[in-house]
Structure 1
Amino acid sequence: MRVLVPGIAGRLGKLLAERLLASGHDVIGIDRRPFRDAPAGVEMHEVDIRKRAAEDVFRRVKPNAVIHMATVTHLVVQSEDRYRINLGGTRAVFEHSNTYGVEHVVFCGRHTYYGAAVDSPLFHTEDEPPLGLSSFPELADLVAADLYAGSALWRYPSFTTTVLRLVYTLGPTGHGTLATFLRGARVPTILGYDPLFQFMHEEDVVTSLVLSLDRRPRGVFNVAGPQPVPLSVVIRETGRTNVPLPEFVLNAALGRFGLPKLPHGAFEHIKYPVTVDGSAFRNATGFVYAHDEADAMRAYREAFPRPLG
Structure 2
Amino acid sequence: MRVLVTGITGRLGQTVAHRLLEHGHEVIGIDRRPWDDVPAGIEMHNVDLRKRAAEEVFRKSRPQAVVHMATVTHLIERSEERYRINLGGTRVVFENARQCGVEHVIFVGRHTYYGAAADSPLYHKEEEPPMAVNTFPELADLVAADLYAGTALWRFPELCTTVLRIVYTLGPTGQGTLATFLRGPYVPTMLGFDPLFHFMHEEDVATAICLSVERRIRGVYNVSGPQPVPLSVLIRATGRSHVPLPELLFRAALGRFGLPRLPEGALSHIKFPIVVDSAAFRAATGFQHQIDEARSMGEYRDAFPIL
| 1:125 matches 2:125 | yes
Give the equivalent residue in structure 2 for 1:52.
52
Give the equivalent residue in structure 2 for 1:141.
141
TM-score (norm 2): 0.98
Give the equivalent residue in structure 1 for 2:267.
267
Give the equivalent residue in structure 1 for 2:7.
7
TM-score (norm 1): 0.97
Equivalent residues of 2:113, 2:132 under 8 A apart: no
Identity %: 70
| 1:94 matches 2:94 | yes
- SS at structure 1 position matched to 2:73: coil
Equivalent residues of 1:111, 1:167 under 8 A apart: yes
| 1:245 matches 2:242 | no
| Larger mean Cα displacement after TM superposition, 264-273 or 253-262 | 253-262
Equivalent residues of 2:116, 2:135 under 8 A apart: no
Q: Trace 1:7-46 onto structure 2 (pairs within 5 A).
A: 7-46=7-46
Give 1:76 shift. Answer: 4.4
Equivalent residues of 2:197, 2:231 under 8 A apart: yes
Equivalent residues of 1:197, 1:274 under 8 A apart: yes
Equivalent residues of 1:196, 1:229 under 8 A apart: yes
Residue type matched to 1:208 in 2? A
Q: Trace 1:77-92 onto structure 2 (pairs within 5 A).
A: 77-92=77-92
CA RMSD of aligned residues (A): 0.9
Give 1:251 shift. Answer: 1.1
Give 1:82 shift. Answer: 0.9
Residue type matched to 1:209 in 2? I
Q: Trace 1:221-232 onto structure 2 (pairs within 5 A).
A: 221-232=221-232
Give 1:77 shift. Answer: 3.9
Which deviations, in whole Å up to 9, do the C-alpha atoms of 1:224-267 show, x marking residues without a partner? 11110000000000000011111111111111111111001100
Q: Tell me, in whole angstroms, the C-alpha distance in 1 between the residues paired with 2:171 and 2:304.
A: 9
Give 1:87 shift. Answer: 0.2
Give 1:136 shift. Answer: 1.5
Give the equivalent residue in structure 2 for 1:181.
181
Long gaps (5+) in structure 1:
none
Count of residue pairs brought into register by the alignment: 307
Q: Tell me, in whole angstroms, the C-alpha distance in 1 between the residues paired with 2:134 and 2:24.
A: 45
Equivalent residues of 2:132, 2:143 under 8 A apart: no
Give the equivalent residue in structure 2 for 1:285.
285
Long gaps (5+) in structure 2:
none
Q: Alpha carbons of 1:136 and 1:150: their partners in 2 closer, same or farther (altered >3 Å)?
A: same
| Larger mean Cα displacement after TM superposition, 82-91 or 124-133 | 124-133
Which deviations, in whole Å up to 9, do the C-alpha atoms of 1:58-109 show, x marking residues without a partner? 0000001000000000124432111010000000001100110001111100
